[in-house]
Amino acid sequence: MKNNFSDIQNTIEELHCKYLPFKDGHTADYIPELAHANTNHFGIAVVTTEGEVFKVGNCEASFTLQSTSKPFVYGLALEQNGQEKMLSKVGVEPTGDAFNSIIELEKQSHRPYNPMINSGAIAVSSLIQGTSFHDKIATIIKAFESYVGHALVVDENVFLSEKKTAHRNRAIAHLLRHFGIIEEDNIEEILDLYFKQCSILVNTIDLATIAATIAGGGVQPFTKNQVVHSNTARDILSLMFTCGMYDSTGEWAYTVGLPAKSGVSGGLLAALPGKMGIAVYSPLIDERGHSLRAVKVFQELAKKYSLSVFSHEDN
Ligand code: GLU
């Protein structure tokens, strides 16, 4: 039956057992520091909008947000700049291209298609308001702290590793500057802001809590604080649904049917609006940048509980 979660703890324990031996995929070695991730780590966490927590596996192991940060930094920029300004700089259309594609910038208006891909996220970084670089990164960290309900830090090793090897992202940022999407010449500072947001350390429960906050219209499930406006939460969910899984967003919508976002460190979060946030962490990813164990777990959960936002009540 749709959304009867009374046996959710047993279900996630079974899924954890089933997929722990599953070793397909690889760590994100294009960021050298991420290549060292412990491939045995595997956590599944569910946090309801009422603050109930279900978890199994390595839910306390920390990892960097990577692209799971993108919807929420977009939300911050949206609240600072308003929809009109945001839409003039970054679109809201899915692409069939990879997360780090440069091709679409050569097309049409040169505006990144959406804020979930790297070009869009780097453009969003250039729109974060603040009096200095430190002020801007502090604002971003503070936003994530209000989502998770405790203090967070940046993994400086991952930050430096990505900064040193980010030739492609650097090229994207320079193209964005060339086309006037980025308006200032401080390209390295904008990239540093993006790399730092990607390098914020969280664990699987944090990720599920972030998802639960968005699922609850912006209300943090434990502190009950309104972290973002409910309209912002709605816009974030729309973008996650249409663009969150890069070039497999259509397949994800078909097999899982929830707004979601993945990151190359192996985190994947999804929101069941009004009910809960779900997160899975396992650093073994596929060629599109999605955690393979996480995709399997979500597909099974979606089937068992009719999670799709389009499922009928009688399913
Ligand atoms: N920091 C990563 C990059 O820019 C994020 C990619 C991802 O998580 O999908 O390549």
pLDDT digits (tens, 9 = 90+) for 78-120: 999 999 999 999 999 998 788 888 887 877 678 999 999 999 9
What confidence score (pLDDT) does residue 315 get? 55
* Mean per-residue pLDDT of the chain: 95
pLDDT by residue (tens digit) across 71-80? 999 999 999 9
Confidence of residue 133 (pLDDT cuts 50, 70, 90): very high
Burial class (CB in 10 A: 0-12, 13-18, 19+), 307: buried
Atom number of ligand 1 nearest to Cα 118:
4
* Same domain as 81, residue 62: no
Please state the three-class secondary structure of the chain as a single string.
CCCCCCCHHHHHHHHHHHHCCCCCCECCCCCHHHHHCCCCCCEEEEEECCCCEEEEECCCCCEECHHHHHHHHHHHHHHHHCHHHHHHHCCCCCCCCCCCCCHHHHCCCCCCCCCCCHHHHHHHHCCCCCCCHHHHHHHHHHHHHHHHCCCCCECHHHHHHHHHHCHHHHHHHHHHHHCCCCCCCCHHHHHHHHHHHHCEEECHHHHHHHHHHHHCCCECCCCCCECCCHHHHHHHHHHHHHHCCHHHHHHHHHHCCCCEEECCCCEEEEEECCCEEEEEECCCECCCCCEHHHHHHHHHHHHHHCCCCCCCCCC
Quick one: average pLDDT of 147-152? 98
* Same domain as 11, residue 124: no
What confidence score (pLDDT) does residue 167 get? 95
The answer to the question of residue 268 being in a domain is yes
Pocket test for ligand 1, best of 64, 97, 157, 162 (most atoms within 8 A of CB): 162
Of 173, 198, 223, at which residue does a domain stop?
A: 198
Measured in angstroms, how far is the CA atom of residue 123 from the centroid of ligand 1?
14
The answer to the question of residue 287 being in a domain is yes
What confidence score (pLDDT) does residue 305 get? 96
Whether the Cβ atoms of residue 195 and residue 159 lie closer than 8 Å to each other: yes
Of 198, 230, 251, at which residue does a domain stop?
A: 198
Check whether 146 has a pLDDT greater than 80: yes
- pLDDT cut 70: percent of the chain above it: 98
The answer to the question of residue 314 being in a domain is no
Active site residues: 67, 70, 194, 246, 264
Q: Whose CA is nearest to atom 1 of ligand 1?
A: 66
The answer to the question of residue 254 being in a domain is yes
The residue segments making up the domain with residue 189 are 69-198
* Same domain as 106, residue 183: yes
* Same domain as 185, residue 73: yes
* Same domain as 193, residue 74: yes
What confidence score (pLDDT) does residue 4 get? 87
CATH number, domain with residue 180:
3.40.710.10
The answer to the question of residue 215 being in a domain is yes
What confidence score (pLDDT) does residue 102 get? 83
Atom number of ligand 1 nearest to Cα 162:
1
* Same domain as 75, residue 130: yes
Confidence of residue 134 (pLDDT cuts 50, 70, 90): very high
pLDDT by residue (tens digit) across 9-25? 999 999 999 999 999 99
The answer to the question of residue 311 being in a domain is no
* Same domain as 93, residue 44: no
pLDDT by residue (tens digit) across 231-274? 999 999 999 999 999 889 999 999 999 999 999 999 999 999 99
What confidence score (pLDDT) does residue 1 get? 47
Measured in angstroms, how far is the CA atom of residue 229 from the centroid of ligand 1?
26
**Tokens read off for 299:** 């597909």
Atom number of ligand 1 nearest to Cα 263:
8
Check whether 2 has a pLDDT greater than 70: no
* Same domain as 179, residue 80: yes
- Smallest CA-to-CA distance from 130 within 120, 145, 118, 142 is with 142
Of 149, 181, 198, at which residue does a domain stop?
A: 198
* Same domain as 32, residue 54: yes
Check whether 287 has a pLDDT greater than 50: yes
Domain count, the chain: 2
Name 282's Cβ contacts closer than 8 Å, sequence gap at least 6. Answer: 19, 39, 41, 42, 43, 266, 291, 292, 293, 294
Check whether 132 has a pLDDT greater than 60: yes
* Same domain as 177, residue 79: yes
* Same domain as 186, residue 94: yes
The pTM of the full predicted model, rounded to 2 decimals, is 0.96
* Same domain as 241, residue 130: no
The answer to the question of residue 133 being in a domain is yes
The answer to the question of residue 312 being in a domain is no
Whether the Cβ atoms of residue 58 and residue 43 lie closer than 8 Å to each other: yes
